[in-house]
Amino acid sequence: MVLRRILTVADPKDLAVLKQVSAPVAEITDELRALADDMLETMYAAPGIGLAAAQIGELRRMFVMDLSDKDAPPEPRVFINPEVVWASDELSTYEEGCLSIPDIYDGVERPARVRVRFLDRNGDSVEEEAEGLYATCFQHELDHCNGVLFLDHLSRLKRERAISKVKKAKLAA
Ligand code: K1U
Ligand code: ZN
């Protein structure tokens, strides 16, 4: 497994990649499973609870997630060609963070419950209902597959302030 560099909004070249729409995965191969393992290792090291392939510069529609409790055994999950097939009218707001926007957190309003569909790492199709942090994280990661960052759900002022804060922190490091 290989630790990969996480692209951030502080670098204009990284941002240009993060804003792109990822391509569907045509075939689940050993190479794709190795990429998923790299993504999980990178996510755990960050640390984070999710990571989309676009965040390491791989413009493929897939992400990984682990929502297990800190002291519980890990529950790594891989989501390939993810979709939301139904979303509730009810909305909920969650304080989101993003490994590509370090140390910035803000409330984002999204559907509280979603029905999701994806392929797992064996290529089996899964459809299930998500709520709470799972629903929030799934939608956040699916946004990455579509070139959307959580800052895009906020006002232009908040977005610009956040990006300049991340850039300043990078210069000071
Ligand atoms: O996609 C990403 O950038 C990962 C992001 C996922 C996410 C977090 C919160 C709401 C929606 C989506 C993160 O993992 S940010 C870091 C984080 O949440 C965390 C880090 C350490 C321990 C617990 C949580
Ligand atoms: Zn993110």
Among 14, 39, 49, 134, name the best residue to mutate to test ligand 1's pocket (greatest count of ligand atoms within 8 A of Cβ). 49
Residue 164 lies in a domain: yes
Q: What pLDDT shows up at residue 1?
A: 87
pLDDT per residue, tens digit, the chain (173 aa), is 899 999 999 999 999 999 999 999 999 999 999 999 999 999 999 999 999 999 999 999 999 999 999 999 999 999 999 999 999 999 999 999 999 999 999 999 999 999 999 999 999 999 999 999 999 999 999 999 999 999 999 999 999 999 999 999 999 98
Residue 4 lies in a domain: no
Spatial neighbors of 85 by CB under 8 A, at least 6 apart, are 115, 116, 117, 127
Ligand 1 centroid from CA 48, angstroms: 5
Residue 148 lies in a domain: yes
Domain extent, residue 91, equals 12-172
Q: How far apart (Å, rounded) are the C-alpha atoms in residues 135 and 127?
A: 13
Q: How far apart (Å, rounded) are the C-alpha atoms in residues 101 and 109?
A: 18
Global confidence as pTM: 0.97
Residue 77 lies in a domain: yes
Ligand 1 centroid from CA 98, angstroms: 6
**Domains of the chain: total:** 1
CATH number of the domain within which 126 lies: 3.90.45.10
